[in-house]
């Protein structure tokens, strides 16, 4: 019977370091997916008029399906043509949309979100829930809802905003699918958002997988945007399968993504290297340690060729996985080599996560009496990532689990802290080891 570790969630650290399955694709989509406003109130120039995009030569709409990502943070709608020909309701939508756009350009997210909610309601009232523009406005709102606080201290709010995004993307998809000829580009983007939102909401993994499958089906039919790429969708689909424990499906999707990345960006590109790294994780999970070693080393070689910095998340992740792997293989020299290539200058206080740890042994007397408890420890991480000067700060029951916790902690290894390119000790690190009787 072993004790187990209780530490602050590494969720925020994971996100800061870019270790999600698709950090690059997500970033590109955020600028792309703020959908431009397309009012189809009738044929352009027909009686009753229609709002038209900007004139030729003016700023392009970054949300235009298939367009390259724009540096602008806001969707672009443009001037009315002519404004006087639009009805009062449509004019109100346009004015609200422009307020949303200005707030977004100014970085006022709360104001932009409130205006985006208003635009959605105005579109429903004046154009109908099944209108293409209404669907586009649902996507705009959902993207703002996805940009929630990823700090675990505000986890309830983070979950709430992503559940709201999930609902908004679902409404966009419902609206688009109700049309006789759905806009496949918008539908593709809505499914991408739905899949991302579902990944962030506990219990929605199956929904995420279905969304990415729907995108792949749309891509086979053509007419979808260049971003996110099919390879990015395959990566996301593989991530869902991996999280659900289906290593075979994860491997199938990631291998397909690797082939596409190799074809479009080159077999030695960063994206190909990262995909090889993920395939190494699958080998590691399946205890094919030699296969994992080969893939991690190959990925590191690609990252070095592409001149990624030593502190880049991909480089750090490959070194960290090799530390764990060589520890399992009993190769102390190789483990030390890669451990010293890791660094902890990007971690905030309290976010220290051990690369290697041994489980505490449950004291026999406490086990026979079904006694549970915990031990709070403070220690220093030296310049080589080893634990030094560990002391018991507090424990319950006092003295029962102290020796067990200290003995286990002495075997743990951490990423060394780096300041100005030099490894330095890190003092006053704390951890709580909990001992529970599993019934």
Q: Tell me, letter by letter, the H, E, C secondary structure of 114-133.
A: HHHHHHHHHHHHHHCCCCHH
Q: Read out DSSP for 365-408? A: HHHHTT--EEEEEEEEE-TTSBEEEEEEEEEESTTTSHHHHHHH
Is pLDDT of 323 > 50? yes
pLDDT at 357: 79
pLDDT tens per residue across span 387-437: 999 999 999 999 999 999 999 999 888 877 777 777 788 899 999 999 987
pLDDT tens per residue across span 108-146: 988 999 999 999 999 999 999 999 999 999 999 999 998
- pLDDT confidence tier of residue 340, bands split at 50, 70 and 90: confident
- At 430 the three-state DSSP class reads strand
When mean pLDDT is compared across 20-24, 64-68, 337-341, 347-351, the lowest value belongs to: 64-68
pTM of the model: 0.68
pLDDT at 60: 26
Residue 275 · residue 303 · CB < 8 Å: no
pLDDT at 149: 52
As a whole number, mean pLDDT of residues 270-277 equals: 96
- pLDDT confidence tier of residue 287, bands split at 50, 70 and 90: very high
By percentage, how much of the chain surpasses pLDDT 70?
75
pLDDT tens per residue across span 7-16: 333 323 333 3
Give every CB contact of residue 12 below 8 A, 6+ residues apart in sequence. 150, 151, 152, 348, 351
CATH number for the segment(s) 354-435: 3.30.2420.10
Quickly count: other Cβ atoms within 10 Å of residue 365's Cβ.
9
Q: Where are the domains of the chain?
A: 21-228, 245-345, 354-435
- pLDDT confidence tier of residue 369, bands split at 50, 70 and 90: confident
In this chain, the answer to whether the domains covering 245-345 and 354-435 adopt an identical fold is: no
Is pLDDT of 33 > 80? no
When mean pLDDT is compared across 20-34, 50-64, 205-219, 308-322, the lowest value belongs to: 50-64
Contacts for 89-92: CB closer than 8 Å, 24+ residues apart: 89/122, 89/125, 89/126, 90/39, 90/41, 90/51, 90/126, 90/127, 92/122, 92/126
CA–CA separation, 254 and 282 (whole Å): 10
When mean pLDDT is compared across 147-156, 158-167, 197-206, 320-329, the lowest value belongs to: 147-156
pLDDT at 69: 29
Q: Across all residues in the chain, what is the average pLDDT?
A: 77
pLDDT at 423: 78
Higher pLDDT residue, 93 or 23? 93
Cα distances from 194 to residues 169, 205, 341, in angstroms, run 5, 11, 38
Characterise 399 by phi-psi region: left (phi > 0), alpha (psi -120 to 50), beta (else).
left
Q: Yes or no: is domain 21-228 CATH 3.20.20.370?
A: no
As a whole number, mean pLDDT of residues 325-348 equals: 78
Q: Yes or no: is domain 245-345 CATH 3.40.50.150?
A: no
436 HSE (CA, 13 A, CB side):
7
Is pLDDT of 378 > 90? yes
């Amino acid at each position: 019977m072993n004790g187990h570790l209780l530490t602050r969630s590494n969720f925020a650290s994971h996100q800061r370091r870019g270790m999600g399955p698709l950090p690059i694709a997500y970033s590109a989509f955020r600028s792309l997916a703020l959908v431009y406003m397309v009012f189809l109130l009738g044929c352009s120039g027909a009686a009753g008029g229609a709002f038209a995009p900007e004139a030729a030569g003016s700023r392009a709409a970054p949300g235009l399906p298939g367009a390259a990502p724009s540096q602008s943070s806001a969707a672009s709608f443009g001037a009315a043509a002519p404004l006087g020909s639009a009805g009062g309701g449509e004019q109100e939508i346009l004015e609200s949309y422009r307020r949303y756009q200005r707030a977004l350009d100014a970085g006022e997210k709360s104001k932009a979100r409130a205006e985006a909610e208003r635009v959605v309601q105005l579109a429903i009232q004046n154009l109908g829930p099944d209108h293409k523009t209404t669907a586009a406005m649902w996507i705009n709102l959902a993207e703002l809802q996805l940009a929630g606080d990823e700090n675990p201290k505000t986890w309830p709010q983070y979950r709430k905003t992503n559940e709201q995004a999930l609902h908004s993307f679902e409404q966009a998809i419902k609206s688009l699918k109700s049309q006789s000829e759905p806009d496949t580009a918008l539908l593709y983007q809505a499914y991408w958002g739905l899949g991302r939102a579902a990944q962030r909401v506990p219990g929605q993994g199956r929904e995420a997988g279905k969304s990415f499958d729907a995108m792949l089906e749309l891509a086979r039919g053509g007419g979808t945007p260049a971003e996110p790429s099919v390879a990015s969708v395959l990566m996301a689909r593989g991530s869902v399968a991996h999280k659900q424990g289906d290593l075979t499906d994860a491997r199938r999707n990631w291998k397909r993504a690797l082939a596409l990345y190799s074809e479009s960006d080159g077999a030695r590109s960063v994206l190909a290297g990262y995909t090889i790294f993920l395939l190494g994780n699958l080998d590691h999970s399946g205890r094919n340690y030699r296969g994992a070693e080969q893939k991690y080393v190959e990925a590191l070689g690609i990252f070095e060729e592409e001149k990624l910095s030593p502190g880049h998340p991909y480089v750090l992740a490959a070194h960290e996985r090799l530390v764990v792997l060589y520890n399992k293989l009993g190769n102390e020299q190789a483990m030390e080599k890669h451990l010293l290539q890791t660094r902890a200058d990007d971690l905030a206080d309290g976010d220290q996560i051990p690369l290697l740890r041994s489980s505490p042994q449950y004291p026999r007397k406490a086990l026979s009496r079904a006694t549970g408890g915990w031990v709070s420890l403070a220690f220093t991480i030296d310049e080589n990532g080893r634990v030094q000067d560990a002391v018991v700060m507090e424990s319950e029951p006092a003295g029962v689990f102290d020796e067990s916790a200290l003995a286990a902690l002495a075997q743990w290894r951490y990423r060394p802290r780096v300041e100005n390119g030099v490894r330095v000790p890190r003092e006053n690190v704390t951890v709580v080891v909990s001992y529970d009787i599993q019934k």
